[in-house]
Amino acid sequence: MSKDRTQGHARHDKVELAFLEKIAARLPGDLEVLQALAELYTKTGEYRKGLAIDLQLAQHLPSDDLVWYNLGCSHALSLQPDKAFEALSKAIDLGYGDYDWMKTDPDLANLNTDPRFESLLNWLYTVCNEEEF
């Protein structure tokens, strides 16, 4: 991608972020707005802000496996591996089942060298294969 296109995307993200922040201020309980805002914070490297929203979402949607997966990613990106593993484990408990994505998710890259990551992947693989039978 050319430098101009990359800068264009960055400007677009900043505009979208400002827009979503204004909507979230007016509709603080709108979970779809919060999910979009958390995703954009992560995309733009504002991991702490994304983590704060993911924590809110986990309170509002405690049975949503993707919310817990995203929370695990936010903890990983915020260099909180223990909390990341807790959230990812909860996501699997709640039904998260995308082994291939978890294995290659760049948001989890800093967990790859931790032995717990391989254990988590093995557990997820087992869970996914049990569901097929």
pLDDT digit string (tens) for the chain, length 133 residues: 434 445 566 788 889 999 999 999 999 899 999 999 999 999 999 999 999 999 999 999 999 999 999 999 999 999 999 999 999 999 999 999 999 999 999 999 999 999 999 999 999 999 888 765 4
Domains of the chain: 3-132 (1.25.40.10)
In this structure, how many other beta carbons lie within 10 angstroms of the beta carbon of residue 80? 16
pTM: 0.88
CA 113 – CA 96 distance, rounded (Å): 22
Burial of residue 114, with CB atoms counted within 10 A of its CB: 0-12 exposed, 13-18 middle, 19 or more buried: middle
**The two three-digit tokens of residue 101, written as one number:** 């994505």
CA 124 – CA 128 distance, rounded (Å): 6
